[in-house]
Amino acid sequence: MLSKSFLLQALVVMTLMVSIHCLLCNNDGDCPTNECCVIGLLADQGVCNDLLPKGTSCKNTHCPCGPNLVCRITDVGPHGHYSKDCAVPENSTLLH
């Protein structure tokens, strides 16, 4: 059985490792070259990320989609709610 102190130490180490790899940001200028700041809907700060892959939501971020992908409306609900995702271009409304 693992002791509580060992579990606490493991949690601290894991938190430090995650914080090293995830650079916090407030805008794209805070991130390394070729990365952008992804800020969640209700978050105060974002995390630096590279280009968004296919299928990733691009509704609440200024990050560009990856190569040969566009940010487009992929689904419109009955009440006007919509989702925007990085997708392969097709006959659709391009948003950026």
pLDDT digits (tens, 9 = 90+) for 32-70: 877 788 777 677 888 888 877 788 887 766 677 888 888
Using DSSP's 3-state secondary structure scheme, residue 87 falls into: strand
Annotate 63-91 with b (16+ C-beta within 10 A) or e (fewer).
Answer: bbbeeebbbbebeeeeeeeeebbbbeeee
Q: CA of 25: how far to CAs of 32, 75, 93, in Å?
A: 10, 30, 30
Q: Would the pTM count as exceeding 0.95?
A: no
- Per domain, the residue ranges of the chain are 1-50, 51-96
Q: CA of 21: how far to CAs of 17, 34, 39, 49, 57, in Å?
A: 7, 16, 16, 10, 22
